[in-house]
Every structure is written in structure tokens, then in C-alpha cells.
Amino acid sequence: MGLRSRPESLAVASLLAATGGYLDAYTYVARGGVLAAAQTGNVILLAVAAGDGDLGRALGHVPSLVAFVAGVLLTEVIGGPGWRRVLRRPVRVVLLLQVAVLLAVGFVPAAPPGTAVTSAASAGVAFAAAMQLNVFRSVRGMTYATTFASGNLRSFVEQTYAVLRRRGDRALAARQARDISAVLAAFVAGALAGAVTTDAWGVRAVWGSVALLLMVLALVVVETRRLERS
């Protein structure tokens, strides 16, 4: 089954979505047009470049894809019974590992698209995004994604339609529609912040996502303590 967080609060889910949007805007603007969090985009860009005969540009998307797979695999390993006995708070460990990786990415200098330096930086972001996507999956009982918007937009339409058509538990559907709309808004806000900040700060703008993750970590600690006391 791998490592999974307990259902996140809306505040945690929104901050994580903002982080996902921020990271994709950052890598697209500062790291060679690669979408490090949304790998669907990378697959399409790789295929388009290959179709154009630009093998170098196509291969530039491969490190990000490989790093994403590695990030998912790592969280699956950490979620195993052996590691769970060693790591008392594995979700916090994942967040701290994300922070460490993204801090390191900020020290990687700017370089032209397709170079090894740019590929290494985007791969680091993809690795961090993959861990986040695989661990944080549920907000107040509803499945969502922290690093892309397509599934969340589908869920919003689905729940809104259920309310309008008076299907099932309308109160629950309305709450879930509000929750997922907040997550979508946070993703867009994060992407906007990532683009603006990257234009201003360059490659070190990735540290803005570190600030968001540290807020997530603080909320996770507070919420866990509250649950343990109740």
C-alpha cells in the first residue's frame, strides 16, 4: 500500500496544492520549460519534440520523468512495515526530505534548456513533487491531487452537478464542491506566485515552495497533536 497521510485538513490541502502549482510554474519559467510536477505535460512535450525530430529536446524531459518515478517508489518503500518501525513520523520525514531537496535545487545555477544542469534541477523538483503527490491524497474524505488540476476540476464539476440535480447527500456534495474549489484556487494562486516570483528571483525562487512546505509541516504537527489529545 505504501505511505499515505491521514485525510488532510482543507488548510493543509490548499497549501500543498499551492506548492504544486508553484513548482510547475517555477520549472517551466526557470528550468527549461519542463513541467516537473505535472508529468502528463512532460510526456506530451517529449512526444512532440521527438515527433519534430529534436532528440535533444525530447531527452531533456526524461530526467524529470525518471526522478518522478523514483520519488513515488521511495514513498512506497518508506510505507513498508520495516521502515514504519524505524520512522516514527514518516509523513513528517517526507516533508522534510522535500524541503531539503528543494533547498538544494535553489543552489543549482541557471543554465540553458537541455543542459545537464537544467535537467538535474528539474529532476530534483520532480522527485519532491512525486513524494508529495503519492503521500497526500485525501482532503476531508475526498480524493484530490496536489500537483495538477485536471482530476480536481472533474471532482468539482461532479459534486456541483450532484447539488444542482439534487442527487445523493446534497450537503456533503456541497461541502466537497467548496473544498475542491478552494484547492483549485490555491493551485492557481500558487502557479501565479511561482511565475511572478521566478521572474523576480530567478532559480532561487524555488525557496518560496520551501516556505509553503514548512507551513504544511507546522500544521501537520499541530493537527496530529490535537488528534492524539482527543
Query: pLDDT tens, 103-153?
Result: 999 999 999 887 889 989 999 999 999 999 999 998 888 899 998 888 999
Taking Cα atoms as reference points, which of 221, 225, 162 lies closest to residue 12? 221
Task: Give the residues of the chain that fall short of pLDDT 70.
Answer: 1-2, 83-86, 167-168
Cα end-to-end span (Å), the chain: 27
The DSSP call for residue 142 is E
pLDDT for position 2: 62
pLDDT for position 44: 86
Q: How far apart are CA 47 and CA 75, in angstroms?
A: 28
Q: How far apart are CA 222 and CA 9, in angstroms?
A: 11
Query: What is the amino acid identity at position 167?
Result: R
147, exposed or middle or buried, with CB in 10 Å at 0-12, 13-18, 19+? buried
Q: How far apart are CA 57 and CA 154, in angstroms?
A: 32
pLDDT for position 84: 65
Establish if 2 belongs to a structural domain: no
Establish if 127 belongs to a structural domain: yes
Establish if 16 belongs to a structural domain: yes
Establish if 228 belongs to a structural domain: no
Query: What is the amino acid identity at position 3?
Result: L
Query: What is the amino acid identity at position 143?
Result: T
Q: Cβ distance 139 to 179 under 8 Å?
A: yes
Establish if 1 belongs to a structural domain: no
Return the C-alpha cell found at 61: 524531459
Establish if 113 belongs to a structural domain: yes
pLDDT for position 85: 67
Q: Cβ distance 131 to 16 under 8 Å?
A: no
Q: How far apart are CA 149 and CA 190, in angstroms?
A: 12
pTM listed for this prediction: 0.91
Q: Helix, strand, or coil here: 8?
A: strand
Quote the domain boundaries for residue 148. Answer: 10-221
- Count H helices and E strands in the chain, helices first: 10, 2
Cite the beta strand spans of the chain per DSSP E: 138-139, 142-143
Read out DSSP for 100-143? HHHHHHTTSPP--TTSHHHHHHHHHHHHHHHHHHHH--EETTEE
Q: Which residue has the cell 532561487?
A: 204
Q: Which residue has the cell 482532503?
A: 139
**What is the total count of domains within the chain?**
1
pLDDT for position 225: 85
Establish if 227 belongs to a structural domain: no
Query: What is the amino acid identity at position 203?
Result: V
Establish if 198 belongs to a structural domain: yes
Q: Cβ distance 167 to 182 under 8 Å?
A: no
Q: What angle is formed at CA 28 by the lines to CA 12 and CA 180, rounded to 5 degrees?
A: 30
